[in-house]
Amino acid sequence: MDRKTYTTKLAELRPLRAEIAAAEKAVAAAQAALDKLIGRRARRITELAGYEGAKADTVAKASGLPVVDVVRIAPLLDPTPAAVRTAKADDRAGAAAPAPAPVAEPAPVAESAVAPALTRPTAVLKQPAPVEVEDQAVVEHPAPAEPAVAAPVAPAPSVAPVAAAERPAVVVGPRELPTLPEGPAGARFESATTGLASKRPNFVQQARSTVFLDVAAGVLAVRDQTVRVDLGARTPGEILDAVLTTAPGAERVYITAGAPWHDGAERYSTLKDAVAAWLNTPSERWTTAVGAGRDRLAGHFVHQRQPVGRYAPAAAPDGPVTEIRSMGEWFDPDGADVTTCRDAFRLLWQALRRHWDDAVLMGSPSQTGRDLWSRTIPTTGKWAGGYPVLSEELRGLLHATGGQGRTELVLPPRVPEQLPALVEYDRTFAYAKHLWKSPVGTPRRITAAGFAAMTEQEQTKALMSCSHWNIKVTVPAGWNHVGLLPAPVSGDRAWVYPSEPGATFTTWAGGAEVHLALSNHLAPWRIEILDGLLFEDGKPLDEWGRRLKAAWADLANLSKLHADERQRTAAYLASRSVRSVLLFGLGGFAQRPRLVSGTTPVGEALPAGVEILGQDGDVVTWQRQAGFSRDPYAHPEWAAYVWSGARAALLDMKYRDGKEVVAVAGALHAKPGTVVYFGTDGIALTERQPWPYRGEVGDYLLKGHLTGPVEHPAGQEQYLKLRALGRAELAAKGTDQ
């Protein structure tokens, strides 16, 4: 193209700009008109719901909406019988009830390739004596186990089953997982999102003015001072008035004690309803912050124990926003006073600044973790231009098939009804152990035929690489230990771990778990490869993990060595915050479909596709799935790979001295019938194990020992109570009890 043509084409481009702008305005006007009509329809539906004889199906037919959408707009029209609603609520409340695992393959698989059993060379293991731990305050506590408990499969016929009346089960069936399509559609699962990559930021985050408030005691920590404040009835408006009078310009208020969002919770059917009502307490001076940019529905974040309230002055709704948050997002204060919590936050920032010159503590550990990671993106080498974000199809597949931590209560008769003891082991800073290698770039698809064509050496290498496999699994004959691979089931539990000999199921699993199933020292499982995704091995999280581990070690040492008891406690809490930064930062990479919450006055139109969380007075609180965003830091492949490695380490982990294996630990190295519970990064058993503790990340630490006989817990809530008793007993008697 010559200069004259270039000038001509450039001149032709300018009118197009004006035409596009006009078209965009027309579309916006049409959308506004459509929104107005939809709002009018919603108001009519709400009005009709006030008539005693109104029926959802009649209103749905007249409005042109499905019944489900009519019910979302006007919950009073819900035709579900009250008894059924009660039963559903009971089912949700009983999420910890056992769920049978799939034991038969529902549909034949046309093509597969059997993976080779991987034999391990026999290693002579040095078994050092367990190391005595003088101060357990520096090690990791597992996060509260919120996922529902997954139960084992039915026992072998030779063992008498537990009566159904003793342990009622919620019957759920297998859940079908997505597979990779053929042809052009399948190519999308080997590609990246166009124009979207994780790049190193070229700006520095701005720190927010932060204060700490003990609502129970009415004490506010501002910089180096503590001030008593009158919080009135402890509503959000009164808290903001009191805080901003004392600390003008405060942008974040962390509640360290008192949980005002639980005030009056007994008046509501669920804790979430109580929290939503508190967040939306009417105030003449404050209103819900509506966010910025395109998403004007930011509002509050409704969570049973760690909500986020975002408020702006009623006189200036688009003005400065002040957040009310829970200190529990970062660490459990566990009785620490507001000054200690403030000092812990300061120590956390100082520890991170030693490893990041531009470290800033953001509103949550997840946001902080992702921001810190972004500042480790390389500026030279292959990935200097950023890490590509996978296609939305592939991210959706990983979201559906890459489970998180293993949470499973093993029930009798696989373990005794009367436990001789309940002994808890917890992996210290567990996920930090699995960041040294992660998948990078776009994957290469390995079909069953492609896997079969590989040599055994190539197959082994593929299984040991960063990979994700669609497999058909058969538990070997004579197997008498815990399950090794997750099987999908419908319902809240999502995953179970079949272990009955001969059980067959189809699932997806990471390379670490598949390799373990083929190479474990007890008996290799039969694995048929149906499909797979093989990534390039890389180190995108290694630098981030090393810096966080160093910050954690600094704070852990300070928590043991500082002369002042308050500062030791603050350092310990700060070390717990580093764990949260890594744990929730990693979870942020998973980039689940977004949940957007908001509020709408009664009578006004609700946004399409919302789930109503509750109604308090004249305000309806709702949430909705917003799908996957164009997030430049969405990397579910990293989270899935780390989670897979951590699940495998619950079963089998090696202690090394250089390259030499000196000890082993994990459920498979305990006697069959002794494993009671898996809890993300910990295990509970019926007897002590000779697993050494060196104070390093990933090591198994003895956390609790409850002397038996102990009645086997019927559900997760009972287990957590027993766990607390075991920790208290161990603390009272010491590790040598």
Phi, psi of 369 (to 5 degrees): -60, -45
Q: Please identify which residue in the block is written with the tokens 């026992």.
A: 155
Cis check: omega of the bond before 709, within 30 degrees of 0? yes
- CB-based contacts of 214, cutoff 8 Å, min separation 6: 220, 221, 255, 256, 257, 258, 337, 338
Please give the pLDDT value at position 716.
87
Please give the pLDDT value at position 722.
95
Residue 451: how many other CB atoms lie within 10 Å: 23
Q: What CA dihedral angle connects 41, 42, 46 and 48, to 10 degrees? A: 20
Please give the pLDDT value at position 156.
32
Please report which helix (H) or strand (E) contains residue 577, including its range.
helix 565-590
Q: Based on the number of CB atoms within 10 Å of its own CB, is 556 exposed (0-12), middle (13-18) or buried (19 or more)?
A: buried
**pLDDT tens by residue, 49-63:** 666 677 777 887 788
Retrieve residue 696's tokens: 């390093």
Cα distances from 686 to residues 235, 257, 666, in angstroms, run 47, 36, 14
223 half-sphere exposure, CB direction, 13 A CA radius: 6
Map 88-151 to HEC letters. HHHHHHCCCCCCCCCCCCCCCCCCCEECCCCCCCCCCCCCCCCCCCCCHHHCCCCCCCCCCCEC
Instruction: Single out the residue of 471, 501, 476 nearest to residue 486, CA to CA.
Output: 471
Q: Please identify which residue in the block is written with the tokens 């579910």.
A: 636
User: Is 310 within 8 Å of 289 (Cβ atoms)?
Assistant: yes
Q: What is the DSSP string of 179-212?
A: -PPSTHHHHGGG-EEEEEEE---SS-PPP--EEE
What is the identity of the amino acid at 269? S
User: Is 148 within 8 Å of 95 (Cβ atoms)?
Assistant: yes
Retrieve residue 705's tokens: 């020992």
pTM to 2 decimal places = 0.73
CA distance 345 to 336: 13
User: Is 57 within 8 Å of 67 (Cβ atoms)?
Assistant: yes
Instruction: Single out the residue of 348, 362, 342, 344 nearest to residue 219, CA to CA.
Output: 342
Q: Based on the number of CB atoms within 10 Å of its own CB, is 375 exposed (0-12), middle (13-18) or buried (19 or more)?
A: middle
Please give the pLDDT value at position 141.
31
Q: Are strands 487-488 and 495-496 parallel, antiparallel or unpaired?
A: antiparallel
Give bridge partners of residue 702 from the DSSP assignment: 425
Residue 285: how many other CB atoms lie within 10 Å: 13
Cα distances from 595 to residues 193, 200, 276, 300, 705, in angstroms, run 22, 26, 15, 11, 40
- CB-based contacts of 505, cutoff 8 Å, min separation 6: 101, 102, 103, 105, 174, 472, 473, 487, 498
Cis check: omega of the bond before 413, within 30 degrees of 0? yes
Query: DSSP class of residue 174?
Result: B
CA distance 235 to 175: 44
CA distance 308 to 301: 5
Cα distances from 589 to residues 633, 634, 640, 641, in angstroms, run 6, 5, 9, 11
Please give the pLDDT value at position 292.
55
Please give the pLDDT value at position 483.
96
Please give the pLDDT value at position 596.
65
Please give the pLDDT value at position 134.
31
Q: Based on the number of CB atoms within 10 Å of its own CB, is 220 exposed (0-12), middle (13-18) or buried (19 or more)?
A: buried
Instruction: Single out the residue of 483, 477, 540, 491 nearest to residue 509, CA to CA.
Output: 483
Please give the pLDDT value at position 644.
95
Retrieve residue 328's tokens: 């529990």
For the chain, how big is the Rg over CA atoms in Å?
A: 28
Please give the pLDDT value at position 425.
97
What are the average pLDDT values for consecutive 10-residue runs of the chain, which has 737 residues? 75 79 79 77 74 74 76 65 44 43 45 73 36 30 34 32 34 74 90 92 90 96 94 96 95 96 91 91 89 54 91 86 95 94 96 94 93 94 92 91 90 93 95 94 94 93 95 96 93 84 95 95 96 96 96 94 94 96 92 68 76 72 69 92 95 90 95 95 95 92 94 91 94 72
Retrieve residue 87's tokens: 């039963």
Please give the pLDDT value at position 61.
79
